[in-house]
Amino acid sequence: MDLEHWLGRATHAIEQWADTFGPYEPHPSLHVDEDRFAAAFAEFTGRLRDNYPFFHPTYVGQMLKPPHPAAVVGYLTAMLINPNNHALDGGPATARMEREVVARLAAMFGYDTHLGHLTTSGTIANLEALFVARELHPGRGIAYSQDAHYTHGRMCRVLGVEGHPVPTDDRGRIDLGALEDLLRTGRVGTVVLTAGTTGLGAVDPIHDAVPLARRHGVRVHVDAAYGGFFTLLAGADGPAGLPVEPWRAISRCDSVVVDPHKHGLQPYGCGAVLFRDPGVGRFYLHDSPYTYFTSDELHLGEISLECSRAGASAAALWLTFQLLPPTPDGLGAVLAAGRRAALRWADLIDGSDALELYQRPELDIVSYFPTVEPASLSAVDAVSARVLTDGMTGPDPVFLSTLRADREAFTARHPKVAADADGARVLRSVLMKPEAEHHVEHLHARVEQLVRQR
Ligand SMILES: *Cc1c(COP(=O)(O)O)cnc(C)c1O
């Protein structure tokens, strides 16, 4: 896809549409002359050089990558009109696109009924799910694993609900025994399960947790902000295939969140929340004297906590899904490549005397640490931190990230490492770009070399 060509076509298409409304004079207060713009633009693009190369295969740090060109063209084209998906009168075309992409996401998770919408982020999407959880079980708390995203604890405070962190096992998944003990107290109304933790990509045993929650009359929300699209690999052939059970069980959960701006090839500003029971729309009811003129249908703003929201986000996702739909052969093929890369790198680390796996990757996040003699948490921490910095600053750069593991979590996985500190940073690489598949050998060799320096 030639981005330059299609951005030109985008401007043209919108101009053609605008021309159908008759001419008018732009106001002189908005006039900017080309020379002044050129100067500002030069400074602007110069400043943008202060960035990490998120697009490049040597960037294997955080959950960052540029959007697909189809998403860029979709976003910028719609942005020239700037519809607001708060209401159908703010952007009829993009509101319909939003309904269609949300229906595709619901189908991807196997929901037979749904109420849902896009949000600005996974944070807001989860907040909405927890808000509905509170309305349905007033006075009861919310449980989530210790490795769940920190937003859950924080949003419980925002909502005035008691949050209950539940211990994790030695693979970073919620401990069902501990969860059951907590549910027996009757203090919990909703449990949050994570399908792909942000740190390690661990998938909670959703299929076992759902019947447990049901026995105690507890609702289940799935935070699949990071991992949601991996459901496309459930039961797939080949090394990238994932076990079916936890992913299929999402269809039986009450709500689910997924971030198209993480694994859906979208620019930031695109999360999504889906409820299985459309009846929860009643909790959002409000009267607005300003909006909702043009239809009796429920407007998107009537089923979301956010008011104004970029119609361009829905446009970008809609156009992307026309080309790379949320199916095993569409977007699934993109995720499969990253997952194969993670498994390949894990095998290389297994055979290395410079590196050790922190734990085997469940999705596409590889966690590992330098082999140090004698092995202690403080030494692992120091060398991990040095490798991170040296990797970014030297020649032939490689961009990693670190993850802080506390003492208990670390020694549960690696009892032989002396626990001389209350935790250690380990190295972490998110292989979310399919190009990673052809670079793991190089990345591995480079990281080994960094460990051995000095
Ligand atoms: C990223 C993430 C969030 C927060 O989503 P944002 O889009 O960053 O606001 C919540 N939960 C999980 C599991 C995540 O990975």
**C-alpha of residue 274 to centroid of ligand 1, in Å:** 15
Query: Are the beta carbons of 242 and 236 closer than 8 angstroms?
Result: yes
**C-alpha of residue 64 to centroid of ligand 1, in Å:** 12
Q: Which atom of ligand 1 is nearest to the CA of 121?
A: 7
Mutate to test the pocket of ligand 1, among 65, 119, 192, 198 (most ligand atoms within 8 A of CB): 198
The set of residues, in sequence order, having a beta carbon less than 8 Å from that of 276 and lying 6+ positions away, is 111, 113, 114, 253, 254, 255
**C-alpha of residue 32 to centroid of ligand 1, in Å:** 39
What pLDDT tens digit does each residue of the chain (454 aa) get? 999 999 999 999 999 999 999 999 999 999 999 999 999 999 999 999 999 999 999 999 999 999 999 999 999 999 999 999 998 889 999 999 999 999 999 999 999 999 999 999 999 999 999 999 999 999 999 999 999 999 999 999 999 999 999 999 999 999 999 999 999 999 999 999 999 999 999 999 999 999 999 999 999 999 999 999 999 999 999 999 999 999 999 999 999 999 999 999 999 999 999 999 999 988 987 766 665 555 556 677 778 999 999 999 999 999 999 999 999 999 999 999 999 999 999 999 999 999 999 999 999 999 999 999 999 999 999 999 999 999 999 889 999 999 999 999 999 999 999 999 999 999 999 999 999 999 999 999 999 999 999 7
Q: Cα–chain-centroid distance for residue 388? A: 23
Buried b (16+ CB within 10 A) or exposed e, 366-392: bbbbbbbeeebbebbbbbbeebbebbe
| pLDDT score, position 290 | 62
Residue nearest to atom 8 of ligand 1 (CA): 122
**C-alpha of residue 128 to centroid of ligand 1, in Å:** 13
Mutate to test the pocket of ligand 1, among 151, 173, 174, 229 (most ligand atoms within 8 A of CB): 151
* Side-chain half-sphere exposure of 128, counting CA atoms within 13 A: 31
Query: Are the beta carbons of 304 and 288 closer than 8 angstroms?
Result: no
H or E element: which one contains 190?
strand 188-194
| pLDDT score, position 302 | 79
Largest CA distance in the chain: 78
**C-alpha of residue 7 to centroid of ligand 1, in Å:** 30
Show the ligand 1 pocket: residues with CB < 6 angstroms: 121-123, 126, 149, 151, 194, 198, 223, 225-226, 259, 271
Query: Are the beta carbons of 278 and 115 closer than 8 angstroms?
Result: yes
Which residues, in sequence order, are bridge partners of residue 402? 427
Q: Which atom of ligand 1 is nearest to the CA of 148?
A: 13
Buried b (16+ CB within 10 A) or exposed e, 147-164: bbbebbeebbeebebebb
H or E element: which one contains 443?
helix 440-452
**C-alpha of residue 359 to centroid of ligand 1, in Å:** 21
- Going along the chain from its start, the domains and CATH numbers come out as 77-323 (3.40.640.10), 331-452 (3.90.1150.170)
| pLDDT score, position 291 | 56
Mutate to test the pocket of ligand 1, among 64, 155, 226 (most ligand atoms within 8 A of CB): 226
Q: How far apart are CA 121 and CA 115, in angstroms?
A: 17
Q: What stretches of 81-192 show up as alpha helix (H) in DSSP? A: 92-108, 122-136, 151-159, 176-184
Task: Determine the length of the chain.
Answer: 454
